[in-house]
């Protein structure tokens, strides 16, 4: 994560240094007829990692301890969606929607406890060497507003527009777990919670993250001609301590820490069509999201850690108008 942050900062500094002697104009630099766009995307979740650990601070008992990798979930899942954006002189808006589905059948290599809070049962206890089917269908929705105060014209055919952004990201969906027939309902580690040995469960999972960030767009090409556009952005969770306090008040957890970043690199070619400045586009996008949280539960008796990392690669076709 630190390496990726340094790459983004270095790239922005390089562009800034090269622009010292360039022309600066007010607002965003976009060819006439190309200040809005709609694209269709298809690709895959190239990498997906998530883990949950929920440990007693007194006895060391693991109330939860599993990762998606334990269930065969690692990546390679087809995803598709759409994007839309609109640019004005000083402001812009971007919308992204991505859908994916995951289905895996595995044989558990060890025992797992999975918090389900469904049907009066708190946890699903998966015993080692039993079969479990895991399904998840969901997606990612992103909405961001951009402030674009200036553009830097490096030459007649090259321009750079920096921005700052504020937005919202929602990642979530529905899950189904099937571990065969329920054989018992028990308690572990002297806990009051109930554990279903075997059985099935379904529910919803996900998170909502407000984002602030920065980025920019490099455009190469003459007006009414083929253009190459490179769009990069980097967003984080603002005021992590404040949002940690909100989580504490709503969940009863204490000492909540939150960490999050979202990085995108999006490049495309625009091919003119018609006489009004419109253009077809073909592009690719790389996106990496990373979120982690630590918190104390049950008056400090348990400490819970959640880590999520997702890498998405997509190709796109669309129209700018």
Structural domains of the chain, with CATH? 2-100+138-172+206-320 (2.40.128)
8 pLDDT above the threshold of 60: no
How does residue 143 score in pLDDT terms, banded at 50, 70 and 90? very high
How does residue 86 score in pLDDT terms, banded at 50, 70 and 90? very high
Q: Which residue's entry shows tokens 């039993």?
A: 130
209 pLDDT above the threshold of 60: yes
pLDDT digits (tens, 9 = 90+) for 284-318: 999 999 999 999 988 888 899 999 999 999 999 99
Reference 117, options 183, 48, 54; nearest CA is: 54
How does residue 113 score in pLDDT terms, banded at 50, 70 and 90? confident
Angstrom distance (rounded) from CA 279 to CA 226: 8
How does residue 254 score in pLDDT terms, banded at 50, 70 and 90? confident
Q: Which residue's entry shows tokens 């980025």?
A: 215
14 pLDDT above the threshold of 70: no
Residue 117: the pLDDT is 61
Six-digit token string for 27: 């607002």
Quick count: other Cβ atoms within 10 Å of Cβ 261?
Answer: 19
Residue 234: the pLDDT is 96
pTM summary value? 0.83
Q: Which helix (H) or strand (E) holds 88?
A: none
Compute the mean pLDDT over every residue in the chain, rounded to the nearest whole number. 86
The SS3 of residue 23 is: strand
Task: Report yes or no: 120 and 70 within 8 Å, Cβ to Cβ.
Answer: no
Residue 165: the pLDDT is 97
Q: Which residue's entry shows tokens 């895959």?
A: 44
3 pLDDT above the threshold of 70: no
Six-digit token string for 208: 């909502």
């Amino acid at each position: 994560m630190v390496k990726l942050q340094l790459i983004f900062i270095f790239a922005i500094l390089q562009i800034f240094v090269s622009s010292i002697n360039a022309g600066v104009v007010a607002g965003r630099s976009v060819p006439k007829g190309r200040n809005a766009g709609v694209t269709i995307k298809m690709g895959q979740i190239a990498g997906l990692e998530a883990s949950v650990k929920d440990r007693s601070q007194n006895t060391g008992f693991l109330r939860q301890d599993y990762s998606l990798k334990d269930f065969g979930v690692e990546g390679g899942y087809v995803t598709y969606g759409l994007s839309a954006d609109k640019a004005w002189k000083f402001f812009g808006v971007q919308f992204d929607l991505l859908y994916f589905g995951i289905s895996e059948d595995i044989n558990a290599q060890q025992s797992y406890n999975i918090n389900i809070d469904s049907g009066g049962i708190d946890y699903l206890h998966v015993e080692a060497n039993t079969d479990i089917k895991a399904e998840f269908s969901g997606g990612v929705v992103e909405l961001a507003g951009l402030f674009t105060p200036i553009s830097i014209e490096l030459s007649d055919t090259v321009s750079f527009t920096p921005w700052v952004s504020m937005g919202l990201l929602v990642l979530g969906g529905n899950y189904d777990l099937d571990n065969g027939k329920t054989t018992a309902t028990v308690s572990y580690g002297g806990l009051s919670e109930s554990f279903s040995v075997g059985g099935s469960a379904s529910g919803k999972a996900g998170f909502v993250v407000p984002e602030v960030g920065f980025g920019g767009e490099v455009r190469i090409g003459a007006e009414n001609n083929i253009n190459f556009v490179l769009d990069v952005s980097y967003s984080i969770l603002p005021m992590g301590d404040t949002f940690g306090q909100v989580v504490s008040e709503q969940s009863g957890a204490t000492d909540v820490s939150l960490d999050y970043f979202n990085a995108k690199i999006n490049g495309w070619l625009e091919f003119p069509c018609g006489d009004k400045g419109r253009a077809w586009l073909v592009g690719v996008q790389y996106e990496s999201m990373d979120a982690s949280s630590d918190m104390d539960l049950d008056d400090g008796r348990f400490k819970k850690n959640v880590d999520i990392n997702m890498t998405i690669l997509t190709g796109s076709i669309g129209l700018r108008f």
